[in-house]
A and B are shown apart, each in its own frame.
Chain A
Amino acid sequence: MYKSWWKILASLLVIYSTIWGFLSKAPELPILHESIRNLYFHVPMWFGMIVLFSISVFYSVRFLSSGNPEDDLKAVESTNVGVIYGVLGIITGAIWAKFTWGQAWSFDVKQNFAAISILMYFAYLILRNAIDEEQKRAKIAAIYNIFAFPIMVVLLFVLPRLSDSLHPGNGGNPGFNAYDLDSRMRMIFYPACLGWILIGYWIYTLVYRLRSLEKKHA
């Protein structure tokens, strides 16, 4: 029990942020209206994805120095969960965009770049399928993973700042902090982020344990 406190915390935070996110009062803003509540789901997905991809790179680096197949398994499974988070982030974003910007895919820079970075990780997964020999696959995939990570960072954190975007905080649009993320929303937004990150980590540990059991009994 004492080891699973963070799982309980994660569940409580997500339940709290979901229920209270729909029930609490949100600031009344033009265009956004009630859709502002999507903030509690859309943004945590991206934070979760970044955390999971970072875990994946960490284990890829560890694999290259240790050669331990467990590390490779951890790297793949965290990438898998990260990709799911990324796809969910794109879907929640598309729904939000449909109601506020008028089009599900508005060709906003951040939308495009997020899609490209997901493509990068699909390429990583395809690369794994292309190689049969296990040790070799693990090594080459780890190298590609580490090679792609800095480019993903540039893609998601540097390039969007150079161009106009419909997202808040870019291209002259004020950030959320500036006017509408008032203290009531903060009380839900931060717990939601923490909760979803922890849930993502939990899913990853479950998937990883499942895979390693499958491997042992195969």
Chain B
Amino acid sequence: MLLLNQVKYLIRKELLLEWRSKYALNGVLLYVVSTVFVCFLSFISIDKITWNALFWIIMLFASINAVSKSFLQESKGRQLYIYTLASPIALIISKTVYNVMLMMLLTLIALAFYTLVFDYVPADLGLYIVATILGSLSFSTIFTMVSAIASKAGNGGMLMAILSFPLIIPVLIVLIKLTKNAIDGLDRSVSYDEIGLLLVINALVMAVSLLLFPSLWRD
């Protein structure tokens, strides 16, 4: 019960901070929108497979920017303050949940804008949306933990990219496969394997983060 309360307050704190500055949401939104626009100007017309790959590349970089700030941006003093108040498990859960919410919102807006600009709608839009939701979930669970590691290591941005790219590739491969099924409009039963695998990877990553974060947090 105590844990739940702590998680609730920490998430509220994140939301409040975000609402006051609106930095992450607006910044990343502008980033996504301008990237999509640059892509549109350089491609104009595009075939389906490139459309799909481009979307995931844009989302990959946007989510690295959005999620990496969760630990890298907090000052040492504030981190110490939170650490004295809340348990590390509550902290990692709240950060992950907040990042999942942020990323889901971002990816859905990005997908809407992306389909609008390129004027192309995947054959099975429902499955594609499911895939993007699963994608934002996996991006945020993996990147939250990696950003915690990178922030402890000292020099943030560069290390974040090096550490997270090899880890995210397996997820990205499954996601691209799943969204390709959605674009081709295949029967949904074909994609159960990929959806299950993504859920398993997420559960695995969450479990490992919960186990490891308390020892990472102790300095």
Contacts and interface: CB of A to CB of B under 8 A. Distances in A.
Interface of A: 64, 113, 116-117, 119-120, 123, 126-127, 130-131, 136, 139-140, 143-144, 146-148, 150-151, 154-155, 158-159, 162-163
A127 B174 CA distance: 26
Interface residues of B, number: 30
A127 B159 contact: yes
30 contacts: A64-B215, A116-B170, A120-B167, A123-B162, A123-B166, A127-B153, A130-B153, A130-B155, A130-B159, A131-B153, A136-B152, A140-B153, A144-B163, A146-B212, A147-B149, A147-B205, A147-B209, A147-B212, A150-B204, A150-B208, A151-B167, A151-B170, A151-B205, A154-B201, A155-B169, A155-B170, A159-B170, A159-B174, A159-B197, A163-B177
B216 A159 contact: no
A124 to B, nearest CB: 8
A87 B4 CA distance: 46
A85 B166 CA distance: 19
- 8 tightest CB-CB pairs across the interface, nearest first? A120-B166, A119-B166, A155-B170, A143-B212, A150-B204, A64-B215, A143-B216, A116-B169
A130 B209 CA distance: 22
Contacts of B219: 136
Nearest to B204: A150
B1 interface: no
A64 B154 CA distance: 20
Contacts of A139: 215-216
Interface of B: 145-146, 149, 152-155, 159, 162-163, 165-167, 169-170, 173-174, 177, 193-194, 197, 201, 204-205, 208-209, 212, 215-216, 219
Nearest to B158: A130
Contacts of A162: 174, 177, 193-194, 197
B170 A154 contact: yes
Contacts of A130: 153-155, 159
B170 A147 contact: no
A131 B64 CA distance: 22
A140 B149 contact: yes
Given A126-B162, A139-B216, A151-B167, 6 more contacts: A123-B163, A130-B153, A131-B153, A136-B219, A143-B215, A155-B169
Contacts of B215: 64, 139, 143
A131 B219 CA distance: 14
Contacts of B163: 123, 127, 144
Which of A116, A151, A163 counts the most chain B CB atoms within 10 A?
A151
A64 B213 CA distance: 11
Contacts of B204: 150-151, 154
Interface centre among A113, A126, A159 (most CB of B within 10 A): A159
Contacts of B205: 147, 150-151
A5 B47 CA distance: 62
A130 B216 CA distance: 16
A147 B204 CA distance: 10
In this complex, the member of B146, B149, B166 whose beta carbon has the largest number of chain A beta carbons within 10 angstroms is: B166
